[in-house]
Amino acid sequence: MTHVAPWDVETAQSYDTPGTGAFAPEVLGPAVDRLAELAHGGAALEFAIGTGRVAVPLAERGVAVTGIELSQPMIDRLRTKVDEATIPVVAGDMATVRVPGTFHLAYLVYNTISNLLTQAEQVACFRNAARHLAPGGRFVIELWVPELRKLPPGQQAMVWESQAGYIGLDTYDVLRQQVVSHHFRFDEGSREARLFRSPHRYIWPAELDLMGQLAGFELESRHADWSGAEFTAESRSHVSVYRLPADLRQ
């Protein structure tokens, strides 16, 4: 089951950062453009829809979006933006819950598949996506690349971002393929910081492809970002598009 504890009322209320961070137009715009293109006018299903960061602008583009979300506070926050008729949401675990209907596109953004903390649950997520898709349907995953090459020998922690008022720190358990992200936010001059932590299971791209194969998908494309930049050995993240065979009898 998805780890729900971090996604509480306080997190939901502070999650949206309009115009900045993950909500910045240069970040959000290409994602919505690409997903609208892949939907091809068909219905889309977002796994872990959250507060609707992607779903709301995608629906405004004319795509019929339905969501799955485990955290009720996140759903409540989404409902301050759109009603159930505009974007229906089924409460439950994205690895197992069944949504009525058939979709042309399923997608999972912002590293959310890593919130499933075991390999078995991550494979189940792929299989759940396949159950919801029509033949030829696509499953899109946005995910970071584990940065173990930057981890100093003998150490378990790495700072991956440092800027005014914010430090991002990851601690790794390489034996169990687990990582905990620590987000420290503070005001300049203050002696105190606010800490938000979230657990993840990191996934290598090749492992992700094998999960897709186990669920009947083929890798259609992989880019370094939503704008279609080339994926290389130095890329810190990727957008991978998996597709079911057009004829599922194959």
pLDDT of residue 235: 96
pLDDT of residue 220: 98
Q: What is the pLDDT of residue 155?
A: 85
Query: What dihedral angle (degrees, nearest 10) is formed by the CA atoms of 219, 220, 226, 231?
Result: 70
Counting as low any pLDDT under 50, the low residues of the chain are 2, 249-250
Query: What pLDDT is stored for residue 13 in this prediction?
Result: 66
Cβ–Cβ under 8 Å, residues 172 and 149: no
pLDDT at 2: 47
CB hemisphere CA count around 36 (13 angstroms): 17
Measured between alpha carbons, how far is 139 from 163 in angstroms, rounded to an integer? 34
d(CA 128, CA 126): 5
Return the ∠ at Cα 226 (arms to 19 and 234), rounded to 5°: 110
pLDDT score, position 21? 75
